[in-house]
Amino acid sequence: MSTRVEEEYDYLFKVVLIGDSGVGKSNLLSRFTRNEFNLESKSTIGVEFATKSIQAEGKTIKAQIWDTAGQERYRAITSAYYRGAVGALLVYDISKHGTFENVERWLKELRDHAEANIVVMLVGNKSDLKNIRGVETDEAMSFAEQHNLAFIETSALDSTGVDTAFQRILTEIYRLMSRRNMAAEEGVGGVGKGQSIELGEGKKGGKKCC
């Protein structure tokens, strides 16, 4: 149980989960990485972390996902984890409009603390709560378009969309990175195996992945 040989991977991408508290970030993470959903989960204090590897375009991509506390008070601490992140899942709760209204604030957080070209996906979680939906899909979708974000609805509870969300954002990060590497091919030798990459400048964020 203790010692495990690190699995092989081609790329390591750091992704952060952000959004208001109680929207289901931790359960998205556990659903994706361990296929678990815990109704009895505690609030996240500080940060938590998990990894999972996926295949995208023939490459093994290891996602290192940092799950952050949602309360505003913790942002000073959690924003430190934005450093080096190449992707962010910005989560709200489709049954609570307030959590969607705060998405703008979270975007500002990212602008202030994250890499300029971080790939952001807007995630409307708890899609199983259709009967008490507070945020219409159209509303969220047009917001996402407007801000050049990818968008998906998920349910960590019944698994809907969870794998797709991570798969999409990781693939998008990979594509973005490959394009940039290609562009910079001549000069610097791209990102080495098992290396974390940072999306540098020079590419405008083609952030829509769907």
Contact with another protein (CB under 8 A): which of 17, 28, 69, 209? 69
Measured CA to CA, the distance from residue 151 to residue 137 in angstroms comes to 10
**Per-residue x/- marks for another protein, 96-125, CB under 8 A?**
--x---------------------------
User: Containing H/E element for 7?
Assistant: none
The answer to the question of residue 195 lying near another protein (CB under 8 A) is: no
* Radius of gyration for the chain, computed over Cα atoms and rounded to the nearest angstrom: 17
What is the secondary structure of 169-201 as a DSSP string?
HHHHHHHHHHHHHHHTSSSS--PPTTEE----S
Q: Are residues 146 and 32 in contact, defined by beta-carbon separation less than 8 angstroms?
A: no
- The single residue among 74, 129, 196, 208 that binds another protein, judged by CB under 8 A, is 74
| Burial class of residue 31, CB neighbours in 10 A (0-12, 13-18, 19+) | buried
Does 60 participate in binding another protein (rule CB under 8 A)? no
The residue among 51 and 159 lying less far from another protein, judged by its C-beta, is 51
Strand partners, 56: 59
Min dist. Cβ of residue 44 to another protein (A): 8
Q: Minimal distance in Å, beta carbon 76 to another protein?
A: 5
Q: How far is the CB of 156 from another protein (least distance, A)?
A: 15
Site mask for another protein (CB under 8 A), range 14-53, x = bound: -------xx----------------xxxxx-xxxxxxx--
45 or 183: CB nearest another protein? 45
| Sequence-separated (6 or more) residues with CB below 8 Å from residue 4 | none
From the list 158, 153, 155, 128, the residue with the least C-alpha distance to 143 is 153
What residues line the site for another protein (CB under 8 A)?
Answer: 2-4, 6, 21-22, 39-43, 45-51, 69, 71, 73-74, 76-77, 98
